[in-house]
């Protein structure tokens, strides 16, 4: 790939979670890295061969790091390929994605990790990192080759949407992962309670006659996971918390000083169960959308820092898997292209400071997984997003870049237009032209 030309971004609103700075500034990129960061709008004495970008007050921030992205590659390329996901990512200002191991074949041994890394390397779009399975075939019985996958380049292990029921398997896998310094992500849901539920157990689901599971299934499993984190001293990433109840458990564990971190999906910050309305399957998610009280509690937990990271939970599902009766439809929503504007809603609604919201999709996930990303500092890779955070955007699912169009934001008006995305100093997305 060609060496990136130096670019000077002037007149920006710099948002840098690493320093906590949110104010006027300018950035120069050179040689794929950040060469200069100043906290004033203009730069003097620029060399004429530097391309000048006048940001006009738009936000310049580190590119987003989305640690929970599903594609269909390998195995279900009609849903999404690594390439289409990476294109969608950069269109949404996301410069690093961590792809989930529930592919066909499952990413449970190093050759599949290697396959994904090789496929992604040549794309020249967002950076792509694999997560590995915690257990072979995601079956929850035997440990996957965690050490070898780590060596091949996987960032963390997870069984994705399948909770590991057997506590002994869970304990050993967590212990083993800790020995290799591999973070362990787990979505807490007691399957015997959650069953094959598709919806949150509530008055609403009862009226619709949907197969529903109680919110408490999340807390019950989370309590076990937190106890095992205490026992094993593993680094636990609690995947996609969705209930207010579970936040209490998380708070206690963090107060104890456990190495525990939590994510929330942008969908659970944006919607509640009532959005399902007349069986709209684009709102069928795992975990299911909960009540408004839960959504409000999640927003507060994000604002307070109890929840560390926001993920898109990008899960492409083609129309034929969604245009079914609710109980039979595939769960999940695409989200790479809407993550940033949807998150900015919380800024516009004054629910949290902008720099904190940006930290939850940049610095914090990068730190969690040990990536050199998420900070506007000299020498760091020039992974950047330029976003006009006030600009109105109307989400039209048909115009999404993702191969699957299952966006719950379809038809919604948001604010925040991604103008440019840079990866290692190269312009990989440019909406200005």
Residues in contact with other proteins by CB under 8 A are: 201-212, 214, 278-279, 320-321, 323-329
Beta strands 260-265 and 236-238 are parallel
**Which residue, 205 or 258, is less far from other proteins as judged by CB?**
205
CB atoms closer than 10 angstroms to residue 79: 24
CB nearer other proteins, residue 167 or residue 192: 192
Nearer to other proteins by Cβ, of 153 and 195: the residue is 195
Contacts (Cβ under 8 Å, ≥6 apart) of 371 = 65, 96, 129, 155, 365
The residues facing 26 across adjacent strands are: 38
Least Å from the CB of residue 126 to other proteins:
33
261 three-state secondary structure: strand
**Residue closer to other proteins (CB basis): 21 or 279:** 279
Q: Which two tokens stand for residue 355?
A: 């720099």
- CB 234, CB 175: distance < 8 Å: yes
Look up residue 200 and give its two tokens: 């949150």
**Spatial separation of the C-alpha atoms in residues 341 and 222, rounded to whole Å:** 30
Q: What's the min distance (Å) between Cβ of 278 and other proteins?
A: 6
Q: How far is the CB of 363 from other proteins (least distance, A)?
A: 40
In whole angstroms, the minimum distance from the beta carbon of 397 to other proteins comes to 16
Question: Smallest distance from the beta carbon of 203 to other proteins, in angstroms?
Answer: 3
Quickly list DSSP for 140-184.
SSSB--HHHHHHHT---EE-TTS----HHHHHHHHHHHHHTT--E
The residues pairing with 392 across neighbouring beta strands, listed in sequence order, are 415
Name the residue nearer to other proteins (CB basis): 210 or 228: 210
Q: Taking the complex as a whole, how short is the minimal distance between the CB of residue 79 and other proteins, in angstroms?
A: 16
Beta bridge partners of 158: 185
- Of 3 and 320, nearer to other proteins (C-beta) is 320
């Amino acid at each position: 790939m060609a060496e990136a030309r130096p670019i000077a971004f002037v007149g920006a609103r710099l948002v840098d979670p690493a320093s906590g700075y949110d104010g006027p500034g300018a950035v120069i990129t050179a040689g794929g890295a950040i060469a200069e960061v100043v906290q004033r709008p203009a730069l003097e004495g620029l060399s004429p061969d530097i391309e000048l970008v006048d940001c006009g007050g738009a936000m310049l921030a580190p590119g987003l790091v989305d640690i929970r992205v599903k594609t269909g590659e390998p195995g279900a390329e009609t849903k999404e390929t690594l390439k289409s996901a990476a294109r969608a990512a950069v269109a949404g200002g996301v410069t690093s994605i961590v792809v989930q191991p529930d592919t066909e074949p499952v990413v449970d041994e190093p050759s599949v990790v290697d396959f994904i890394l090789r496929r992604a390397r040549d794309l020249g779009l967002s950076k792509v990192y694999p997560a590995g399975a915690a257990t072979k075939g995601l079956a929850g019985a035997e440990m996957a080759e965690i050490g070898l996958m780590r060596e091949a380049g996987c960032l963390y292990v997870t069984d994705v949407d399948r909770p590991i029921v057997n506590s002994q398997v869970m304990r050993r896998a967590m212990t083993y992962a800790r020995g290799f310094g591999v973070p362990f992500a787990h979505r807490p849901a007691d399957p015997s309670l959650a069953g094959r539920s598709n919806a949150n157990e509530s008055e609403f689901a009862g009226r619709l006659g949907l197969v529903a599971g109680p919110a408490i299934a999340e807390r019950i499993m989370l309590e076990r996971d937190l106890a095992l984190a205490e026992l094993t001293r593993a680094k636990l990433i609690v995947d996609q918390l969705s209930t207010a109840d579970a936040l209490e458990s998380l708070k206690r564990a963090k107060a104890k000083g456990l190495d525990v971190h939590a994510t929330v999906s942008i969908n659970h910050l944006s919607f509640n169960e009532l959005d399902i309305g007349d069986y709209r399957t684009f709102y069928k998610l795992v975990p299911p959308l909960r009540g408004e009280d839960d959504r409000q509690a999640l927003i507060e937990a994000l604002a307070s820092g109890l929840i560390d990271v926001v993920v898109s939970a990008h899960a492409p599902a083609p129309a034929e898997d969604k245009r079914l009766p609710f109980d039979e439809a595939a769960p999940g929503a695409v989200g790479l292209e809407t993550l940033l504007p949807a998150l900015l809603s919380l800024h516009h609604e004054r629910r949290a400071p902008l720099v904190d919201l940006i930290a939850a999709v940049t610095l914090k996930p990068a730190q969690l997984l040990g990536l050199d990303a998420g900070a506007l500092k000299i020498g760091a890779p020039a992974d950047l997003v330029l976003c006009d955070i006030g600009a109105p955007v109307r989400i039209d699912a048909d115009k999404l870049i993702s191969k699957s169009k299952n966006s719950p934001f379809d038809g919604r008006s948001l604010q925040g237009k991604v103008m440019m995305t840079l990866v290692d100093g190269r312009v990989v997305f440019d909406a200005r032209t």
